Homo-oligomer: A and B are copies of this chain.
Amino acid sequence: MNIIIRKAVQRDCERMMELIQELAVYEKATEQVAVDFNHFVESGFGKNPVWWSYVAELTHENNSKEIVGFALYYIRYSTWKGQKMYLEDIIVTEQYRDKGIGTMLFHELIHLSKEMKFKGINWQVLDWNDPAINFYKKFSSVRFDSEWINCSIDNI
């Protein structure tokens, strides 16, 4: 399987949106996806980017390329630690799971965090998402903390 991990570019956005939809189906929250495509592109590749991403690109035998997963992050500022990576989404499309692609993406995030001198990586997992929890447990340095409640105001 010929997979490379590379930084996302603007033309990847359409496929990334498809994968975001796929993740929402899996997380039982399709009605929650209300992001505007143009705003998504502008937020990643406009004047003041607020997200960055790596994609996993598969080259098929006929040389066509397909994005089969991505990891998208933004910069969190922790008043206890300083700048950290906040991993918003990591997803591999269903057909290509359990082939080490998520691990490749994750290693790239760790590598970049070192390079950027981030003080760590944060993310969240749904408490019933055992496949994801088991995936994260493979990385010995991952800590899990159930002591926090998420709060939100959605209708601003």
Chain A residues packing against B (C-beta within 8 Å) = 20, 23-24, 29, 32-36, 39-40, 43, 50-51, 72, 74-83, 86, 88-89, 110, 113-114, 118-128, 133, 136, 139, 141-156
Number of copies: 2
Docked-complex contact B148 and A33, CB < 8 angstroms: no
Closest to A156 in B: B113
Pick the residue among B125, B144, B151, B156 that contacts A124 (CB under 8 A): B151
Docked-complex contact A51 and B74, CB < 8 angstroms: no
Write out the residue numbers on chain B whose beta carbons fall within 8 Å of the beta carbon of A83.
Answer: 39, 43, 50
Pick the residue among B88, B127, B153 that contacts A110 (CB under 8 A): B153
| A147–B129 alpha-carbon span in the complex (Å) | 10
Write out the residue numbers on chain B whose beta carbons fall within 8 Å of the beta carbon of A43.
Answer: 77, 82-83
| A51–B149 alpha-carbon span in the complex (Å) | 22
Expressed in whole angstroms, the minimum distance between the Cβ of A85 and any Cβ of chain B is: 8
Report which residue of A32, A148, A153 has the largest number of chain B beta carbons within 10 angstroms of its beta carbon: A153
Docked-complex contact A151 and B126, CB < 8 angstroms: no
Docked-complex contact A152 and B156, CB < 8 angstroms: no
Docked-complex contact B36 and A82, CB < 8 angstroms: yes
Pick the residue among B23, B114, B122, B128 that contacts A152 (CB under 8 A): B122
